[in-house]
Structure formats: C-alpha cells, structure tokens
C-alpha cells in the first residue's frame, strides 16, 4: 500500500509537470517535444520496476519505420524510453482519460480500424511524421497478443512508406522484438507472461495495478537489421519477412540469448527479390 501510494504520487506530479511542458514544446516547436516523452516513460518504468535491456540499436537512416510485435500497454513505455518516436494507435485511445491526452501530446497517429477506407488518410499522416524525421512505430499484428505467440503481421500500414519515398528514393523498415523475459529475477514462462501482457477483455486499470504490485519485470528489446525499400515494394512479402525476423528474435530472447536478424534474408527465402537496396544495422 505504501509503495502504491508513493508510485501514484510521483506519477501524478510528473504528469502534472510533463503535460504543460510538452504542450509548450509542441506550440513553440522546441527540440524537447521529442525528448520529454522519453524522459517521462523512463520514469514510469522505474516506478513500475520494469527493467529494459537492449540488443542492437535503432537505425540512423531516415525515413524509418519500426515494425514490432505487441502484447501490452507496456510496449509503448518500453520503446519510447529508448529513443524519440511516434506511435500508430487505435482511435479508441484518443478518448481515454489521461492516456488519450498523453498519446496526443506524443503526436500519435490514430487509426479507426472500423473504417478500412481511411487507411489512405492514415498512411498520409504517418508519411508526414516520417518526412519530418520522426521514426514511427507500427505494431505488425495490429492488436495485442497473449505474449506467448506472435500473430500474423498486417501489410496495410506499410503503405505509409510508399507515400513517403518518391521514385529513386529509399525508406527503411526495421524489425523490433519486445520480449518480457523475467519476473522477479526468474525466467518468465508461459504461465507468467500474462503478468506483462494486456490482451482480450482485460481491464486496463486492473492490469496496471497488477504490474505495480508484482514489479520486477525484465524486458529485452532487440532491434534487427533495417531493410531499405523502394516505392514499388511488395508489401505482403515484406510484412511476412518482418514477421519472421521478429518471431526469431523473440524466440531467442525467451531462450535467454540475443539474436539480430536480417529480414532481407527472410525475403529471399520467401520468394524472388523485390525492389530492395542495401540493408543496414
């Protein structure tokens, strides 16, 4: 009870300070608009006793689209604590108390999954962020899983890269694995992954409370090699290759080892080459 009160108090203070600071940064176009969310999410993870370990690194090339697996609201904090970036989130989040405001202040792009015809508009919004130099995160599965398996990756939002790069230009897609590996110092097996995973009809507030009570979560983030793509890319094949890369990195992390995969190799195995250029780490 004492710890919960302390955490909630520090969180409230940080939020009351961070919201106006980020609002001012956005209005004035200050460099802090990208870094305030990083600092804020690092504090949140520290309060929740979630330790982030990283293997590999974000690619330096731009425009850059991260494609990651997704099992929890913690994923946002984990990725945002590592580097400035922008998220693609479901439209319902925009209306959530506090969390919706925080997502808007981080300049998230909101997707209405019930309006499939709106994909073009969303891709143009993502392209605007990418063109502005912001790495953008999309969750390949399009929803959260139970943490024990990775769902098939969807290809629709990869179209944002086509909106971003012109003829003769190139953009970069980088697979990212998020694996919750340990709970209170012990390996996190299948039965314990729901401690970190938030999926199905699980109540968000109750799940946050559970993470707060349990604490001691370790997560390994692995950045694979980025692939450079041209406008004529085959989105379905590339989505499949990114999925295979993330799946292998996640499996390795759960087995206590770190592996950086190269989606270009997976692409070559899937079918004949599509317009690609040199990969990078």
Percent of the chain clearing pLDDT 70 (strictly above): 92
Please tell me the distance from the alpha carbon of residue 197 to that of residue 144, in angstroms, as a whole number.
8
Residue 269: predicted pLDDT: 62
Is there a contact between 261 and 176 (Cβ–Cβ < 8 Å)? Answer: no
**Lowest mean pLDDT segment, chosen from 63-77, 110-124, 185-199:** 110-124
Cβ-based neighbours of 185, under 8 Å, separated by 6 or more: 216
Of 61 and 266, the structure prediction assigns the larger pLDDT to 61
Please tell me the distance from the alpha carbon of residue 138 to that of residue 69, in angstroms, as a whole number.
9
**pLDDT confidence tier of residue 116, bands split at 50, 70 and 90:** low
pLDDT value at 280 more than 60: no
Please tell me the distance from the alpha carbon of residue 243 to that of residue 67, in angstroms, as a whole number.
9
Q: Which of 263, 260, 259 is nearest to 279 (CA)?
A: 263
Taking only the tens place, the pLDDT of each residue in 221-256 is: 999 999 999 888 888 999 999 999 999 999 999 999
> Is residue 177 classed as helix, strand or coil in its secondary structure?
strand
Is there a contact between 241 and 263 (Cβ–Cβ < 8 Å)? Answer: yes
What is the per-residue DSSP string for 200-248? Answer: TT--HHHHHHHHHHH--EEEEEEE--EEEE-TT--HHHHHHHHHHHHHH
Residue 272: predicted pLDDT: 46
Please tell me the distance from the alpha carbon of residue 233 to that of residue 249, in angstroms, as a whole number.
24
Of 15 and 205, the structure prediction assigns the larger pLDDT to 15
Is there a contact between 51 and 218 (Cβ–Cβ < 8 Å)? Answer: yes
pTM of the full predicted structure? 0.92
Taking only the tens place, the pLDDT of each residue in 48-90 is: 999 999 999 999 999 999 999 999 999 999 999 999 999 999 8
Is there a contact between 172 and 65 (Cβ–Cβ < 8 Å)? Answer: yes
Taking residues 254-272, what's their average pLDDT?
77
Helix (H) or strand (E) holding 66: strand 64-68
Is there a contact between 275 and 229 (Cβ–Cβ < 8 Å)? Answer: yes
Please tell me the distance from the alpha carbon of residue 170 to that of residue 227, in angstroms, as a whole number.
10
């Amino acid at each position: 009870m004492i710890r919960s009160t302390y955490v909630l108090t520090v969180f409230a203070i940080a939020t009351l300070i961070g919201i106006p600071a980020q609002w001012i940064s956005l209005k004035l176009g200050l460099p802090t608009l990208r870094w305030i969310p990083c600092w804020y999410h690092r504090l949140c993870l520290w309060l929740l006793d979630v330790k982030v370990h990283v293997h590999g690194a974000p690619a330096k090339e731009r425009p850059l689209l991260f494609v990651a697996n997704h099992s929890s609201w913690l994923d946002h904090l984990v990725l945002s604590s590592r580097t400035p970036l922008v998220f693609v989130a479901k439209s319902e989040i925009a209306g959530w108390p506090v969390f919706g405001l925080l997502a808007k202040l981080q300049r998230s792009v909101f997707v209405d999954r019930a309006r499939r015809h709106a994909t073009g508009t969303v891709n143009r919004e993502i392209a605007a962020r990418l063109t502005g130099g912001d790495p953008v995160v999309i969750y390949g599965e399009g929803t959260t899983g139970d943490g024990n398996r990775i769902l098939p990756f969807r290809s629709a939002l990869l179209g944002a890269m086509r909106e971003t790069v012109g003829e003769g230009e190139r953009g970069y897609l980088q697979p990212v694995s998020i694996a919750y590996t340990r709970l209170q110092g012990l390996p996190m097996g299948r039965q314990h992954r729901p401690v970190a995973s938030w999926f199905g009809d699980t109540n968000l507030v109750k799940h946050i409370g559970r993470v707060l009570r349990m604490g001691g979560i370790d997560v390994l983030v692995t950045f694979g090699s980025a692939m450079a793509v041209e406008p004529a890319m085959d989105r379905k094949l590339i989505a499949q290759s990114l999925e295979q890369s993330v799946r292998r990195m996640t499996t390795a992390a759960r087995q206590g080892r770190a592996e950086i995969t190269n989606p270009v190799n997976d692409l070559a195995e899937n079918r004949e080459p599509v317009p690609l250029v040199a990969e990078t780490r």
